[in-house]
Amino acid sequence: MTQQGADMSGPVATPDGWKERMPMGEPFLFLDHAELTETGARGRYRIRGDEPALRGHFKHSPVMPASLMLEALGQLGVFFLLHHAQARAAAGGEVKPETIFLASCDGVRCSRFCRPGDELELEVTARRVRAPLAGFSGAVFAGARERAVRAEEIVLGFGA
């Protein structure tokens, strides 16, 4: 792991080879960068415009589906479960990628269109991590930190 920054609320580490450990891959990985923080994870994703879902959503004015932005938040939660010491402690060892699944999402609000060229900033905060479930709150921002999507609770199931 490469250490970054001394501020405990800032980045803690970005594990080497993190994309290879993720259970999802191209074209369904919506994270270009991810880093652990003390209490969760942060990530980025640039909407390229060639994503398969954008071809028909919408034909003449592509918009990133809010469901895929919510998926990106879930993927950031997966990143946390695979790499954060808190998750390993809760699982009693390494969390296996094939055991992670989305259990539920609550309190989702969408407030901004995101289009090709937008760089999304994603944040999740772990609210509770106790095997077999982990709860997160999360948000997606675009532009000048305009909130695009907020989720009060994203619950992932996981195992060791």
84 assigned to active site? no
Average pLDDT for 115-135: 97
In this prediction, residue 9 has a pLDDT band, given cuts at 50, 70 and 90, of low
In this prediction, residue 10 has a pLDDT band, given cuts at 50, 70 and 90, of low
Q: Return the structure tokens found at 54.
A: 């954008």
In this prediction, residue 13 has a pLDDT band, given cuts at 50, 70 and 90, of confident
* In-domain check, residue 152: yes
| pLDDT on residue 157 | 98
CA distance 154 to 18: 21
pLDDT in tens, 133-144: 999 999 999 999
* In-domain check, residue 4: no
Domain span holding position 113: 22-157
* In-domain check, residue 14: no
* In-domain check, residue 139: yes
* In-domain check, residue 43: yes
* In-domain check, residue 143: yes
Average pLDDT for 121-141: 97
Q: Report the chain's mean pLDDT, rounded to a whole number.
A: 92
Residue tagged active-site, from 33, 57, 60, 84: 57
Spell out the residues 6+ positions from residue 133 whose beta carbon is closer than 8 angstroms to its own: 103, 155, 156, 157, 158
Q: What is the DSSP string of 63-118?
A: ---HHHHHHHHHHHHHHHHHH-HHHHHHHTSPPPGGG-EEEEEEEEEE-----TTP
pLDDT in tens, 37-82: 999 999 999 999 999 999 999 989 999 999 999 999 999 999 999 9
pLDDT at 2 over 90: no
What CATH number did the domain enclosing 67 receive?
3.10.129.10
* In-domain check, residue 12: no
| Partners of 141 in the β-ladder | 121, 147
CA distance 128 to 143: 30
Domain count, the chain: 1
**More confident position, 147 or 13:** 147
* In-domain check, residue 13: no
**More confident position, 142 or 159:** 142
